[in-house]
Every structure is written in structure tokens, then in C-alpha cells.
Chains A and B, each alone.
Chain A
Amino acid sequence: MAILEVNNVHLSFGGLQVLHDVSFSVNSGEIYAIIGPNGAGKTSILNCLGGFYHQQKGQIDFNGIDISHLTPDRRASLGLARTFQNIALFRGMTVLDNIKLGSHAHLKTGLLDAALYWGRAHREEMELREEIEKDIIDFLEIEHIRKQPVSTLAYGLQKRVELARALAMQPKILLMDEPVAGMNAEETEDMVRFILDIQEERDLTIIIIEHDMRMIMDISDRIMVLNFGQKIAEGNPQEVQQHPEVLKAYLGTDKRGQS
């Protein structure tokens, strides 16, 4: 069953056509990968899904609802969470506060409750803390750094905290922009293990952009290939690997060596 449907999306900035007639649909519970050479428009798709860019034409349906015109914060509260290519944590806060911030849309404390604190706000904060400790901090093995400011952490850990924050949003779809870029083999393995565990245990749909082909081919259920803003192939890892257009896009030549 499709949880996300993207139909004929066009996106351009001035004269620059970034996405041209891109359509795809993502099934509930699968890991869907988007790959392509640099500048193919992968991150732009995520930005369209998240609501940071607005496509000129086309429609995005999430769970059967058209979300094309919703603001980013509305889409987040519907269940779209995102991790970023260049870590976008809040550097001035501790790990714990960053994760708590992910739950923002699910909390109810208003300005007055916050000012009084004791009572409703306190109760909510304590429930939140317990939930986060149990479901996220334990799960991602970051107990030892929960009180540290994120700016002091190593790169791999920051990526993991970003994943934690996205999980705190209780998403239905997790959008991951290059989750293992710049990581060493061990950190990559850890991250892949977490991604697979998340998909399995939480019944989440994951859309992932990544340049690490070995990892993509290992974990994705289906892959879409973009080149110059156009979708050139879609299918399971084996199909995509043998697709002539894909080989052409990545190697600049087809199978027989002709240009």
C-alpha cells in the first residue's frame, strides 16, 4: 500500500530546471532509496517533501491527503521527519534537549503552562523524559552523552543524535539525507544496524539518499535513480544495477563502451 505518492513534480529556480516531471510512490514499511550523480536533484526532492521548497507543478499525497500546500511544521506534525546532509542539530543545546525538541509537535504545553511549570507542564516533561530515555536514548546507545552539548560531539555521534531527534518526532516516514556520508566503516555499520532495527521494530517507512552504493544495494527494497532532475530508472537493487540508463549516467557510457 502506498503511503506516499509523488505525481509529476516540477521544480525550477528561475531558469534552472531542478526537477522535471518526477513521479514515484513509496510503500508503507519499505526502505526506498534515491540515488543519482551530484546535482541530480535528490535533496531537492526531500526539500519538496518536507515543505522547504514548493514545487511549481505536481502533487504530493501523504496517506491519501494532499500535503503540497502545507507548511513544514504542519507536515512534521503529520509524521514526516528528516535528518540532514550537513548536520542540522541545535548546537547550543544538550543532546537531551535536542531530542526533546523533536517531540515538540506532540506536546501541548502552552506559554502560560510553561511560565507556571508546576502542574501540567511538569507532568508532561516527565512523561516525555521517560519515553525518550526508554524508546530512543537506550535504543540508539547514547546514554553516556545525554547531558553534553552537541557541539562537543564527534561527527558520527552527531549523526546518531540527529537520528534520535528525528525518531522523537514519532514519524511515519523518515527522510534521511546521506546518513553515513563521511563515516568510517564501523560508524557506517552501526548506522545501518540502527536503520534496519528502526524499520523492523517501529514499522517505519524510510526514504534514504546516499552515495555509499554498497550500503544502498544492501538495505534498500527499491531504488529510484535521478539524473539532471529526471527519473531514469526505478526498481529493486538488481534491476537498477543492470539498467543501461543508470550505467550511462554513472559511467558516461553504455555497456558496450560506446559514448
Chain B
Amino acid sequence: MRIGDFKESYATDEAVFTTSTSRFWLGVLFLILALFPFMVGDYLLYMANITGIAIVAALGLNILTGAAGQISLGHAAFVGIGAYTSAILSNRFGMPFLICLPLAGLASAFFGVLVGAPSMRMKGLYLCITTLAAQVIFEFFFVHWESLTGGIRGLNIAPAKIFGLNIGTEFGFYWVTLTVVIIAATVSRNIFRTRVGRAFIAIRDRDISAELMGINLFRYKLYAFAVSSFLAGIAGCLWVNHLKSITPEHFPLHESIRFLAMIIVGGLGNILGAIYGAIFMTLIPEILQAILKFFEEIFPQAMSFLFPLQTVVFGFLIVVFLVFEPHGLAEMWVRVKSYFRLWPFKH
């Protein structure tokens, strides 16, 4: 506890940012995020956008798997549903981006609840396999329902506009992504300040006593599936409007596992963890690329190892974090902060 940190009401004690120091740094962060697009080029903005989209999706999976403890191997498929919904709505019905966004989320949430329904009878590995089945089934639909999804050639969409402003550029889209990320993170945090979030964690920690506490297990598991796939759908809508095209190849099982890796590396059940994990996992391919580029002078074919190496590194990271840092980057960050709180004094 910090010295001089007095609280006079329960409301201030329950606030998210309790000290003026943390509010100050939050302000600094927002300032940096606001100035960022004016200082960097298109490539870094592109990186920021795909990171933001990954954060939204990871926040969703974090609620379902991290907090409510229902492992999902189908998260990429839900992102895909959101993406296809958005593309179809804007191509066929000419709907504007701001209407596509919530509709993509709702469509995804609908299928999420459908896939989550077996959770009434199944848990653990069995439910995990059900979500895997969902991943495979939805992928199949993406490829074979050609009249709707365009088959393996996929769909292209026109650059989106908000109130006539073009957000098709990296610069324009940055503001959309940033806003959505902030809203998604706030909503996630809010849920865990109320009985709904507590019920999720209770189901993860001990489902039997959760039920004896008066929690309707089935309803809350469905809630978790709904919120999680809603956020996935939102991420999907952002995705398709950012890339302006989709094919089924964008949402394979590998992508689902990447989302799982994000929340494991970041810290299961931790909102900041999901954010750190998404940033970390999106940056790794870039870091790998930089390293391989460095070695290209010595080994001319180094670049051809990029893709297989990515898979190996992802797998390695998951194992390392599960064994040595089960609480992920979020916990490491807390340790670093508490170390420097008194630095350079020992105690």
C-alpha cells in the first residue's frame, strides 16, 4: 500500500484508477496514443491497427477462457463470422460501417451462444472439442457457401466511411481502432466490477459451489460465450474494413491458437494481460523478421524459415509461460512496478 493513500468512501475504494499517480500515467498514455499517428509512417500505423484488432479479439477470448474458464478453440471462426457479416452487409445492402459494426458483433454473439449451448452438459476437454468442431464447421461454410461468402476467392469491400469521412487509410482507421479498443477494454473491466464478472470467475474456480451460491451455471456460461464472441465479431468487422478483403484463409485453427497464446502469455483472466499478450504476439513475427534479416547476409535463405520459425516460437512461448510464468506478462509487470516503487532502496 502507498503512504498517504487514504480513502473516505467505498466508491473511491472501488474505483479502477485509485491514485492520482495512476491517473496521471493513464493521461500520458492517452496523449502518446493521440500523437502517435502524426509521428510515424504507414507501416507502423498498419502494425498499430492489426495490434488493436488483435486486442479486441483477445479481450473477448479472455472473458470466455481466462475468466469463465471455458476453453475455446474456435475464436478465429467467430472473428470470421463478424468479418463476413460485415462484408456481406456492406456489399449487398450498402450498410454504413457504423451499423455493420454492432451487427457483426451480434451475428457472432448469436453463433457463440449456439456453440456454447452444449456447455450445459459438457466441460473441460469435451467442450474444447465442441468449439474445435465449430471452428471446422464455420471454416467449411466460409469455403463452400460460395454464393454468400465468395468461396476461396473471398470478398472485397469498398473503403469504409464514417459520416462521409474516409477511414480507408491507415491514418483514418487508426482512430476507429483506438476508439473501439478503449471501449472494449472499458466494457470488459466494467463487467468484472459487477456480479456478472464475479459469477464468471466463480464458475472457473469451482463450478459446483458457484451453483450452490445461486448462480445459474448455464445462463452465465452462455453470457460468457455471447460477450466473448460479440467482441470477436467486432474485431472481425474491424479486420475486414482494415484489409478491405477476406478469404477463408484468414481464420484458420492456427489463428484460434494464436488468440489462446495471447491470453496465456499475457495472463489468463487479466484484462491488461490480454492487451499485453495481443501486443506481444503481434510484434513477435516482426521481431523474428528483423532477426532473420540480420542473418540473411550469412545465410541467404534465412527468410524462408520465417513462417515455420513463427510456429515454433509461438509453441515455445506458450510452454515457457505455462511453466514459468503462469500469470503471464501482467504479473511480471506488477512485479517490476513494485520493485521500482521503492528503488533503489531494498525494503
Task: Please list the residues of chain A having a beta carbon within 8 angstroms of any beta carbon in chain B.
Answer: 50-52, 71-73, 76-77, 82, 84, 88-93, 97, 100-105, 107, 109-111, 113-117, 121, 124-126, 129-130, 133, 165, 169
Contacts and interface: CB of A to CB of B under 8 A. Distances in A.
Interface in B203-219: 204-206, 208-217
23 contacts: A51-B212, A72-B211, A73-B212, A73-B214, A73-B216, A76-B213, A89-B206, A90-B210, A93-B198, A97-B198, A101-B198, A101-B202, A101-B213, A104-B214, A113-B194, A114-B191, A115-B190, A116-B187, A124-B194, A125-B193, A125-B194, A126-B14, A133-B10
A52 B208 CA distance: 8
Interface in B48-75: none
Given A52-B208, A111-B227, A114-B190, A104 B11 contact: no
Contacts of B223: 111
A111 B226 contact: yes
A101 B199 contact: yes
B277 interface: no
Contacts of B195: 100-101, 103-104, 107, 109, 114
Interface of B: 10-11, 13-14, 187, 190-191, 193-199, 201-202, 204-206, 208-217, 223, 226-227, 269
A174 to B, nearest CB: 13
B116 to A, nearest CB: 14
Please indicate which of the listed interface residues B202, B212, B215, B269 has the most CB atoms of chain A within 10 Å of its own CB: B212
Query: B interface, by DSSP: helix, strand, loop or mixed?
Result: helix
B191 A115 contact: yes
B213 A125 contact: no
A52 B14 CA distance: 34
Contact of A91 (B11, B191, B205): B205
A177 to B, nearest CB: 11
B206 A129 contact: no
Contacts of B204: 92
Nearest to B10: A129
B7 to A, nearest CB: 11
Nearest to A166: B213
Contacts, number: 111
Contacts of A165: 213
Given A50-B212, A114-B190, 4 more contacts: A51-B212, A52-B212, A88-B209, A92-B204
A165 B213 CA distance: 9
Contacts of A90: 201-202, 205-206, 209-210
A82 B223 CA distance: 26
Of A88, A91, A101, A109, which is in contact with the most chain B CB atoms at under 10 Å from its CB?
A: A101
B133 to A, nearest CB: 26
A111 B196 contact: yes
Given A126-B10, A133-B10, A104 B199 contact: yes
Nearest to A77: B214
Per CB-CB distance, the 7 closest pairs between chain A and chain B, nearest first, are A105-B214, A76-B214, A117-B190, A88-B209, A90-B205, A114-B196, A114-B194
B213 A100 contact: no
Given A72-B212, A109-B195, A111-B227, A93 B205 contact: yes
A110 B190 CA distance: 12
Nearest to A146: B13
A88 B14 CA distance: 25
Contacts of B190: 114-117, 121
A109 B191 CA distance: 10
A76 to B, nearest CB: 3
Nearest to A109: B194
Nearest to A93: B201
A137 to B, nearest CB: 11
B233 to A, nearest CB: 15
Contacts of B206: 88-91
A114 B201 contact: no
A77 B191 CA distance: 22
B194 A104 contact: no
B187 A104 contact: no
A103 B198 CA distance: 11
Contacts of A84: 209
A176 B262 CA distance: 42
Contacts of A92: 201, 204-205, 269
A93 B14 CA distance: 15
Contacts of A110: 196
A81 B11 CA distance: 28
B64 to A, nearest CB: 14
Contact of A117 (B10, B194, B217): B194
A114 B227 CA distance: 11
Given A91-B205, A126-B10, A129-B10, A114 B213 contact: no
A107 B204 CA distance: 20
A124 B196 CA distance: 13
A89 B209 CA distance: 8
Nearest to A132: B10
